[in-house]
Amino acid sequence: MDYTPLKYVYKASGNHEAYTLLLLHGTGGDENDLIPLAEDFNLGFNILSVRGNVSENGMPRFFKRLGMGIFDEKDLEFRTDELVAFLKEAAIKENFSAAKIIALGYSNGANIAGALLLKYPGLLAGAILYRPMLPFKKFTAITANSNTPVLFTSGQHDPTVKAADTDKYLELLRTAGFNVKDHALNASHGLINDDINLAHEWFKEHFTL
């Protein structure tokens, strides 16, 4: 398959046993947006921050959409495969374990992270989904059988995400075998301190070095 290389920033921890935190930005962001957040966690992880290959009116995204909240699911599948191919190549190039990747995605980045979980359920060691939307309207997830931990935070006042779709998404993830901890926060689409604090707790529970 003819994939386009993704632009990225990689920061090695110096520990060969470390997990790698895969950072996936929201619409209009880039590979630098989430690095300060990741560094504030002070986890001793490698950091791999990626820029989406799609441009929407000059704004980077990870996949195309047909309208607000309407995904181009064919392109989403292609871009998910493209990201997986990139991760396998980057793991070799940067010398990190492809079996120890934890995704942290916000908005559009959370959506492609969710697509990774559903389409490649054994790929990620864990995932944080900030303000995610159901990636595929009709999708039968492959059973993970791994109890992979997932932190899922939604905003109770988020105008971009329907509560019914969030419920369907959570059910789909749990049915597929993921260990999902979900929180509906008193927030809109933007991140708040609770998102960060919950991630701190989640990391301590599941990923201590």
Q: Could you tell me what percent of the chain has a pLDDT over 90?
A: 82
- Residue 110: burial class (beta carbons within 10 Å; 0-12, 13-18, 19+): buried
Q: CA-CA distance, 118 to 36, in Å (whole number)?
A: 28
Chain Cα centroid distance, residue 136 = 15
Q: Quote the mean pLDDT of the chain.
A: 93
Known catalytic membership, residue 206: no
Q: CA-CA distance, 69 to 17, in Å (whole number)?
A: 39
* Per-domain residue ranges of the chain: 8-206
From 75, 97, 182, 189, the catalytic residue: 189
Structure tokens at 64: 């195309």
Place 157 in a pLDDT band, splitting at 50, 70 and 90.
very high
pLDDT computed for residue 141 by the predictor: 62
- The mean pLDDT of 70-84, rounded to a whole number, is 94
From 158, 165, 183, 206, the catalytic residue: 158
- The mean pLDDT of 20-32, rounded to a whole number, is 97
- Alpha helices (runs of H) in the chain, residue ranges in sequence order: 35-41, 73-94, 108-119, 163-175, 193-206
Q: CA-CA distance, 23 to 28, in Å (whole number)?
A: 14
Q: CA-CA distance, 193 to 128, in Å (whole number)?
A: 15
From 107, 183, 200, 206, the catalytic residue: 107
Q: Which of 33-37, 103-107, 119-123 has the lowest mean pLDDT?
A: 119-123
Known catalytic membership, residue 107: yes
- The mean pLDDT of 88-98, rounded to a whole number, is 97
Question: Does pLDDT of 140 surpass 90?
Answer: no
Q: CA-CA distance, 23 to 130, in Å (whole number)?
A: 11
Q: CA-CA distance, 82 to 3, in Å (whole number)?
A: 6
pTM: 0.95
User: What CATH number was assigned to the domain covering residues 8-206?
Assistant: 3.40.50.1820
